[in-house]
Every structure is written in structure tokens, then in C-alpha cells.
Amino acid sequence: MSASEDMSVAIVGMACRLPGAPDPSSFWRNLTAKACSIRHFSVDEMLAAGVPDTLARHPDYVPAHGFLEGFDQFDAPYFGIGLREAELMDPQHRLLLECAGEALQDAGLEHPERRRDQRVGVFAGVTISTYFANNVLPRKDLRSLFGDQQLMLACDKDFAALRVAHAFDLRGPAIAVQAACASSLVAVSVAMRSLLSGECDIALAGGASVRSPQAAGYLYTEGGTGSRDGMCRAFDAAATGSVAGSGAGIIVLKRTTDALADRSSIRAIVRGAAVANDGANKPNFVIPTVAGQVQAMRDAMDFAQVRPNQVTVLEAHGTGTLVGDPIEIAAFAAAYPKEDAAAPAFLGSVKPNIGHLDAAAGLAGLIRVVLSLRHRQVPPVYGFQTPNAHCRFGATRFVVPTVLQPLDGDDRPLFGAVNSIGMGGVNAHVILESPPRLTPRRPQATRRVYVLPVSAKTRESATNYLSRLRSVLPELTSMSDVEFTLQRGRSPLKYRAAAIGRSAEELSASLERAKPIESDGEPGNVILVFPGQGEVTFKNLADLAADVPSVSAEIGEILTAASDYFGQDLRWMAGRDEPASPSGDLHRQIAAFTGPLALARALARSGLKPDFTAGYSMGEIAAACTSGLMDLEGAMLLLKARSEAFRDSPVGTMSAAASEAERLLTGSVWPAIRQGDGRTVYGGTPEAMRDFERRLDANDIAHVPLGVPLAFHTPLMEEAAVRIEMAIASKLRLSTPTTPFISAFNSVTENGRDPSRPAYWAQQVRLTLHFDRLLGAIVAERPCQVIDLGPQQRVAPAVARLLGRMPDVTPRLPGDWSMQFMNHLTQAWRCGASIDWPSAGEDDRIVSLPAYAFDHRRHWMELRPEAKGKQNMTPSKADASVTGGMSTHITIYSDRVEIRTGAAIDQGAPNGGVATEPQPAPQAQRAPLAESVADTSEPSGRQLAPVGIDVTIASIAANYLGIATLKPEDNLVDLGANSLMMTQMIAQVRNQLDVQIALADVFLEPTIANIARLARGGDGGRFSIDLDLVRSELENIERLTPEEVQSALRDAENER
């Protein structure tokens, strides 16, 4: 480790949302293609956005902005934020939240386990909230409803970094960094020092700037900072100023030593950073100085221990202003002087491509340099043609590239620098180094199986991510790295899918087939079924040991114990050359026992522990070991006793045929295994079986010989059973199982059927195996997953047929035992199990993969018509008021309350707009009373008529949450009501209903039903009316004559 590594930090993840570029990859493509993402708007676009007509048509108005696509979009449920709160929230806060999530994913740190016991800091700055000023503040109704504090939390600069820390449970410092246009680069400097001081272990640094309205420009003023024609021409003779833009960016930082140790993917190394101020030695407050910038540049180089002539990529603030550019170039020339041996330094600025992003500008420039160092290329500066004569480039070593320039140096480290200037005197400078060379990988001995787990909070997001991942898979060189990143770096969420395969091609095909399923957090009952002896070969075992390291370790442990017990080296079964003459049945039994047991152990180590175990014939021995009924030494004793007993058993054969063949049995042929699928395995003496098979042929009954030398589970094994019992009776130690063991024999009323007694394990070889009953017992446990541990997957199809569904039973992959093992884990994970994926190789690294596919919806508080200038405009749906004086249509169903008001967000609308339910037209004549009871029935459930208290509470909740449909049992906090909002909500309930409700009682159960109960004094819950009964009574009233009505009223008065 070098001294520079000890005092540097590594960029291990980054994310951005920039004009024309939703991520760093697309940003790089735009830069290299000389794309400009500054948009020029039409008058109609600006009028629709709220620009006053007189301003939009002013001759000096420049209709240009670095337009950010999706500026009004947000995935509020992903962050547990309510729809109304999301609508109030400054889009800068929203962008930071999503960029932070994407950056953590890019760093492989989204999974909480990757951040365990590490302090993660957040350092971020945002621009003044024009959304608050233009969209929220004019809404007096909102200020009345939510109060200034709630609006401040939603929009103020101070809370942006704190929101990120809260959303991702980050426990380090969370600090708002405000340094004007230099905010995000200053945040990098502050984060670096926090890391090196030990204040935090991981740091997020960045910034955001989003202007409202987006489709708007600025009034050009001669000598001002704004460009005359809406183009930013940094360093060019035709430059007249800058153009604003909107965007955000965040990087994730670690100490370089930590990043190298935990196999992070290092994008670049921050070798040094410094911040200085101009002070008062300048003409006025806003003009930058050469001296202040040079101080920051030299301090950063001193920190980095880098010489000026080593830096070959320079990212300038580069605003294209008449004063700013020449001053900055003079500062660069002083700090990075031209020397005889110095290589040219390429000078650039990102602002001509995307505009000036204010608080996020420095981070955008830093990402540009990081990408240049990573690709070892420098993109051209958009629009640069003729050098600004005042910049005096001839006296410097700086070159402004007009085409994509390769960087020399082969594999030698490259250095770059980023400069950022904050109006008022802030100067920030950062020195970057290209990422370190990766050590060569050791070649893989086998084509291992890869599992790519994908999850999201919604089905739509999961489906979209599957498509994203598949689209980039051909560009990725290491499937092992992709697997490591998805398994170790991403959080397991509700909707899950996965791809499984041995190559990029197989994984791509698997991704195309994959369908997300909803997991419930727990996989349900998991049953392991162990195969019989005839299903496992020595090759199966050797392949399994070679392909899956975690299983190989278990195989080695079991075979070592077997070698010690039997006094012979049996480890050849795990891959060493097979001996010339393996000792027959004993070795086959050991192989058949070892493989499935090793799989079960490896599954348990990965977190997939069974709720039940069962076995097919000899498979019961491994099942008993897994359940805790038998230990490994006892299993070896039993295998030895079986092998010795079988040696002297009479020869027999077995054949599988339809169960109807039982009517043809004669002599020494018996049913051995009742399969349960209309088939039975028969066994007997060779002569009797040949005769039986001839009768089968004569009756056109198909049969399949099994090719075994003994007739297991028939009376021919009686002597073997006796010998086994004699060998194990006093030696086999059996215990109470810790996991229930399902037997194929203990449901029959014969002696020796208790698996906790040695006699069971002797008689097991002789008695008829009732696999049909075993399957019935398995199905009775209502399993979520039945795992067939045999390489040929003979049990799974039978279970699937009985269950009547295949999704809960692992798909058949006959013969590929390694693939099956990974598939078992994958299926359990999809069902909701928490899986500790088998340890990856030592060379596996976190790599950059597509970011989470957020399920975006529009959240935007539209400008009021009066705030949109003098043009006459029809209010949009979202302009509807949320005040209490509105008309409201409310229906209370048996399972929810549905409220339609101008404040209720119509969740069915694609843009998240507001729905107002029209009032019914007046009727020409009075309808019968029974018909006037609104029929709001749904397919199921009885209706509840609207009741005053419930209606009032539901209406108040709907206003605050912006949700059209509420169920009485819905948890309002889960729907996005924070503690402050709940306080305001309950205060309004108290005022409108004139009741006393303790807030602490509400938080115990924050539902409409509970609040209504508390409002009634807690006297028995919500009042409801059966509308069917109401209609019936009203129909009776309709039939009464006026005299009968008067009589009924007198009777009621007397009773009262």
C-alpha cells in the first residue's frame, strides 16, 4: 500500500440525471457524440409552463434551458413517501433520493449487509427551491392545510441530505453543503476529509438543481451571465454567457484501502481536494479571482502529492462568460504552468452540452473527468471553434479538443482535475487518478452455474429491470461479477425473478423467460426428499464436487468421515481417479448417501433449512441424518451393515409397470414400491420375474426392467433384514429429530414402523415402500417448495401432479445436479427465503449494472391559473382545491372508504392527476325511498352506509394523503403520513368533530377505523348499517297509507 492510497479515497459508485442523460453511460455517449441537450422552447410551451405572455414574447427573452426529462416524475412508494407529500416535495430532494439509491446500487452497497456496522455519510447541496416559490408558496390552501413547517421539510435546502440518510438508514454525518455553484464539488472535499478522519466509512457526495418551470428561459442582459442566443460556448471567441440547466449527480466514496480490500469496482481515485475563498481583494462580490483559484488548485495538488505536469485532463468551470473564462484560464496557467517536458493538457467544460447546473455543476464536471480517465479518452468541447483571444491559450499547455482525443500513457496512471467556482468567492478543486489496474483472474476449471437474482418493489419495476439487464448482458465480460453484484449488492425486495445458466447466452435466454412473482417474506414449508440408491452415479458426485464449491466442501467432509470409518480412502469419489475396481455395493451406497446429504447441508448453510425431510428407499438414511434422527457415524454403521447383508442375499430383479399388473402376480413376485401415479415397482426371483414379464407382454402392459441385482422391499430381503438388525441393534444411536421426518413406512400398522428404533432401519429393506402414502403425507403439509435432491428429479413430477401446480415445485433439470442445487436456492429465494448465496470466487468484483427501474409517476403541484401570466387558461385537473369547502362524494364499502374530491389523487390517471367526481343531475321527480339508497355494491361483501364520523375522518385523511380510496383498516403511516402530518390530521379531526383524541392512542393503530372508534369514545368500534335491511324497511314504509304512518309515529312516540 502506497502513501497516496492511504490518504486517498475511491469513487466506487456514481449516478446522475442530466439533460439528455439518465445515467453516466448515456452521458458519456452524448459527450463523445458532441450532443447538446440544451432545449429551445416554443412560445406555446412556455405559456403552458406559466411564463407570462409579455415575457415569453419579449425580444430579449432567451427560451433556452438544459431540460431535464422526467423532472416531475418520482417513485414515491419506493421510499415510503405518501402521494401528497411527494407532490409537495421539492423535485431536487426527489432527484437526490433516486440518485442516491442508484449510486448505492452502482457501488454494490444497496444491500444492508454490505453496509453493516459502517457509518455512511451524506454530503449534498441543492439550489434554492424555485418549485417552492412558484408552485407551492402561491397555494394558500396548502399552507393552511399543512402549515409552514411541513412545507419547509418538503422543500428547504437543509433537509435534502437528511432525507437521503433517513431513506437508506445511513448513520454517518448528513450535512447540507451550500457553496453556490461549487456546492457539489465542495461536498466531495468535505466527504473526503470525513472519510480520512474516520468520521465515516462510506460517503455519498453530490448535488441537485431543478428549476420550475422547466420550459422557461431568461431575459438577456448585456454584460450579464446569460448567453445571448441560448448557447454556451466555453473558451470560444463567440461566447456571450452561460445557459442554466437542471440535473443531479451523486458519487459514493470509500477510503481507497477499504475499496481495494472489499473488491469494490473503483471508477477513479480522488487523490486530493481543496477549497479556498477569494476574500475581499476583488472588484466586487460576484467576480472570481485568479489568486483564489490558484490557491485551491495548488492546495489540492499538494494534498494529492501530484505534480502539475502529471495532470493531462482539466475540467474547467467554463461558463462561457466574458469575464469568467479568461480569469479561470489565467488561474490554470499559473497553477499548471507550461514546461518544456510537460505533455499537453486537454481542457474541457460540460456546460456547452447540458447547461450550468448550479449546485450540481461541479459533480457533472467531475463525472465527465471520471469517464475520461476510465475510457482513456477526452470528449470534444461542444461548439468550440475559435479560441477566445482573452484566454491567451498560446502561452499555456492547454488544448481544447474538437474531436474525441485518446489519452497516451498505455497502462500508466492518468491524472485529471476538476475546477468549480461558486459565485461570491468559493473555489473548489479536486485531483483525480485513473482506476488501478485489475489483477488477472485465475481461469475457471469448470463451467459453473450462475444465478442472477432480480427484485423490485413492484411487478412492473421487476419486469422492466429484467429487460434492462438482458439488454446489457452481451457487453459484460464476467458473468461471475454480474452474479456477485446482484447477489451481494442489491436488496431483496417483494417482487422477485431470477435467471440461471452457465453462460451469457443461457442467462440471456433465462432472463427473457423469467416472470416476477410476489414473495411474502417467508417461503412456507420446505420439504427435502432424498433419492434412492439407483439414481446417483460416481460421475454425478464428481461433477457436483467440481462445479459447486460450497457443496464440494460438504462432500469432502462426509467422505473424510467415511474414509476414517471404513479404513479406506474414499475421497476419489469427489473427483480423484476412480479405482480400477470399486468395491461394489458399499461404494455405490456411500456415493448415493453422500451427494444428497451434502446438498442438504449446503442448502442449510445458504439459509434454506427444511421444515420436513423424507426419503425414497435408501434415501431415508440421508433424510434421517438431516433431520437429526441419526448422526453420521450411525449412518456409516447402517451402510456397512446393509452392504454386508446384501452380499449374501438371494438374487432378484425388479421391474416397473402399471398398477393393474398386480392381478397377474403369481409365485415369487411381489409389489415392492407403490409409486402413487398408477405405477408399481415389482420384485422377485429372476425366474418368476421372467414369467411375470411374459404375462405382461401377453396383456399389452408396458414394463421397464430396473437392472438391479436384488429385489428390494420384497420377502426376498427377509434374511438381509435380520442380519442388518443383528448388526445395528445395540450400536445404532437414534435421537429425537429436530426436523420432522416423514416416513414411507410408519403409516402401516405392522411391527417395526417406528423410525426412532433400530428395527425400523433393518425392516426398511424388506417391507413394501408406500411412496404413494409418502406423497400424500408431503402434500398434507401444504409445502411451498418440495426439493427433490436426486440428480434425475424423479420425485418432483409426482409431487407436482398431486399438488396440481408446478410453480411451488422446482422445475425438472434431469442429470445436471449442480444446476439443480442453484435452482433450489433460486426457487426458495423467489418464494421469499433469505438466501446467503454460495460464496463467490476470490476474484469476483462489484461491477456497474443498470440501475433500479423506478416505477415513476407524475408528482407535480401545478401553477395556479393566476400565477401563469395574463393568458386565459383553463385549470387542469391538478389545479383543484383541497380546501374543506369543496363538494365531496363519499362511499363506504365493507372493505374501504372511497372519497372523490378535488383533492383526491386519481390513482388510475397515468399522470397522477386529481379526479373530481361529478355530482348527480337533479331528478325530475322523487324516486321511491328504497331506490334512493345508492347501490354501490361490489362483487363481494355487504355494504356499509356512509356514517358521519367515518366520512369526516376519511375525507380529512384523503386530503392529506392525496389518495382516492381508503380502507378502514389501512395504516395511514404506511400510506405516507409522517408524524407531523398525523398530528395535523388529528388536530383537524378534533376541531371538526369537537372530540378529544389522544395522539398516542392514534399511533398505536393509525387507521380510520381506530380514529373513528376513538372519536366515539372507544365504545365498541365503527357503526355500520346493513343496506339490504334498510331497503327492506323502506319498501315497507312505501306501502303504508298516510293514516298508517301517523299511527306508527304515535306508537313510536308512546314507546319512547
Which residues does the annotation mark as catalytic?
181, 317, 356
* Residue 406 · residue 388 · CB < 8 Å: no
Q: Which residue has the cell 466555453?
A: 234
The three three-digit cell numbers of residue 844, written as one number: 469476483
**Rounded CA Rg of the chain:** 37
Q: Per the structure block, which three cell numbers stand in for 238?
A: 463567440
Q: Which three cell numbers stand for residue 823?
A: 435452482
How distant, in Å, are the alpha carbons of 165, 460, 836 from that of 118? 13, 32, 20
* Cα distances (Å, whole numbers) of residue 603 to 490, 684, 787, 906: 21, 38, 10, 46
- Maximal C-alpha separation, the chain: 117
Q: How many whole angstroms separate alpha carbon 129 and alpha carbon 210?
A: 8
* C-alpha cell of residue 663: 392381478
How many alpha carbons fall within 13 Å on the CB side of residue 840?
Answer: 22
CA geometry: angle at 727 spanning 722 and 732, to 5°? 115
d(CA 648, CA 717): 10
Q: Which residue has the cell 434412492?
A: 532
- Which residues face 454 on adjacent strands? 497
As given in the structure block, the three cell numbers for residue 634 are 450411525
Nearest CA to 123 among 179, 52, 68?
Answer: 179
H helices of 606-631, where? 619-627
Q: Cβ distance 355 to 38 under 8 Å?
A: yes
C-alpha pair distances (Å), 199 with each of 119, 431, 842: 8, 22, 30
**C-beta of residue 15 within 8 angstroms of C-beta of residue 851:** yes
Residue 499, H or E segment? strand 495-501
Cell numbers of 240, please?
A: 456571450
Grid cell of 603 as nine digits? 442448502
Kindly give, in sequence order, each residue whose CB lies less than 8 Å from that of residue 777, ignoring residues fewer than 6 positions away: 614, 742, 747
DSSP secondary-structure letter at 653?
A: E
Angle between helical axes of 290-304 and 324-335 (0-180°, round to 10):
40
Cβ–Cβ < 8 Å for 195, 253 = yes
Amino acid at 481: D
Q: Rounded distance, CA 315 to CA 332, Å?
A: 10
Helix (H, G, I), strand (E, B) or coil at 885: coil
Query: Helix-strand-coil percent breakdown of the chain, rounded to 5?
Result: 40, 15, 40
Give dist(CA 956, CA 968) in Å, integer.
Answer: 13
Classify residue 804 by its DSSP letter: T
Name the grid cell of 884.
374543506
CA angle 517, 742, 601 (to 5 degrees): 65
- The grid coordinates listed for 404 are 474525441
Helix (H, G, I), strand (E, B) or coil at 428: strand
Backbone φ and ψ of 396, nearest 5° = -120, 175
For residues 669 and 655, the answer to whether their CB atoms sit within 8 Å is: no
Gap between the Cα atoms of 96 and 861, Å rounded: 19
Torsion sign (Cα): 577, 578, 580, 583: positive
Q: What gap in Å lies between CA 233 and CA 355, rounded to an integer?
A: 10
